[in-house]
């Protein structure tokens, strides 16, 4: 991983939250990437189900803490519980299946010099180098039907701006928040379980006059695990969360921003 940090950027402390669901191998690989990121002051790994061992790089040993759940919790509960331990100016939600071939934090922190931004996210690519659909339009019942029919995929166009785009929502595999904005929004809604927490938080942030961006200055790699497309149980959880989102935000979604 290349080093890209200036002295001012290394002073910006970040707490990273990762939740592992039997993914010790993936988490261990991600920890090797994070160990070389000077902006990361602390890594909180929530072990959601019994597993292990994790491989901890020597230069991360004094910056890592494990939270071991007695009862399995959802995405929102786990990251909110981690945030309760956050004492830094920035809080990063990171999926276990992310990899960092370069250090994305300096670029994201430069964006977050704008006090109107609640969070910044990097461009997400798949292992083959293709751009993932992490920037998206709000889901609608008709849009879901069109997606199932493979007539529309819901991705938001990245446009021609070399710096960033402002999609309607950003998928939650990598979100670098201002801690004050995350706190003001009340974090993720724990009424959801595994799905739609990211859509809901993006909508609530815009309703509260915060903005957020997907940066084109930097990227991360996501080896997507689409459980809801292969497992009926995950698919039903996805549908239940989507129904909750539609009910909660019916007629209240913020207007489209360009």
Compute the distance between CA of residue 188 and CA of residue 178 in angstroms, rounded to an integer. Answer: 14
Write the CB contacts of 210 (distance below 8 Å, at least 6 apart in sequence).
Answer: 116, 117, 118, 181, 184, 185
Reported confidence tier of residue 231, pLDDT bands at 50, 70, 90 = low
DSSP characters for 150-166?
TS---BPP--S-SSEE-
**Which pLDDT score, from 0 to 100, does residue 182 have?**
98
Identify the domain containing residue 198 by its residue range: 11-226
Q: Is residue 65 part of a domain?
A: yes
Write the CATH number for 208: 3.90.550.10
Which residues, listed in sequence order, are joined to residue 94 by a DSSP beta bridge?
174
Res. 157: pLDDT tops 90: no
For 161-213, the pLDDT digits (tens) are 778 999 999 999 999 999 999 999 999 999 887 778 999 999 999 999 999 99
Within-domain flag for 135: yes
Q: Is residue 240 part of a domain?
A: no
Whether 251 has a pLDDT exceeding 60, the answer reads yes
The SS3 call for residue 83 is helix
| 50-59, 127-136, 175-184, 229-238: which is most confident | 175-184
Please check whether residue 47 lies inside any domain of the structure.
yes
pLDDT of 153 above 90: no
Do the domain assignments include residue 151? Answer: yes
pLDDT band (50, 70, 90) for residue 160: confident
Span 110-126, pLDDT tens digits:
999 999 999 999 999 99
Structure tokens at 62: 């004094």
Give the count of domains, the chain. Answer: 1
């Amino acid at each position: 991983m290349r080093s890209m940090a200036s002295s001012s950027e290394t002073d910006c402390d970040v707490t990273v939250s990762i939740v592992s669901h039997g993914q010790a191998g993936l988490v261990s690989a991600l920890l090797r990437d994070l160990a070389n990121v000077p902006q990361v002051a602390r890594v909180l790994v929530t072990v959601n189900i019994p597993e292990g061992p994790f491989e901890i790089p020597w230069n991360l040993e004094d910056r890592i803490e494990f939270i071991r759940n007695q009862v399995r919790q959802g995405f929102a509960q786990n990251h909110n519980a981690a945030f309760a331990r956050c004492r830094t100016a920035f809080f990063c939600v990171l999926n276990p299946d992310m990899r960092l071939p370069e250090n994305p934090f300096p670029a994201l922190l430069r964006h977050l010099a704008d006090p109107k931004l609640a969070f910044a996210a990097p461009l997400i690519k798949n292992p083959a180098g293709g751009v993932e659909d992490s920037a998206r339009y709000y889901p609608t019942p008709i849009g879901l039907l069109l997606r199932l029919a493979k007539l529309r995929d819901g991705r938001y166009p990245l446009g021609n701006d070399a710096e960033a785009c402002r999609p309607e929502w950003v998928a939650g595999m990598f979100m670098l928040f201002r801690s004050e904005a995350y706190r003001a929004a009340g974090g993720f809604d724990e009424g959801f379980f595994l799905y739609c927490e990211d859509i809901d938080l993006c909508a609530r942030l815009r309703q509260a006059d915060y903005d957020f961006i997907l940066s084109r200055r930097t990227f991360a790699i996501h080896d997507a695990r689409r459980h809801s497309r292969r497992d009926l149980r995950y698919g039903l959880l996805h549908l239940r969360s989507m129904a909750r989102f539609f009910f909660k935000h019916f007629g209240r979604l913020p207007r489209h921003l360009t």
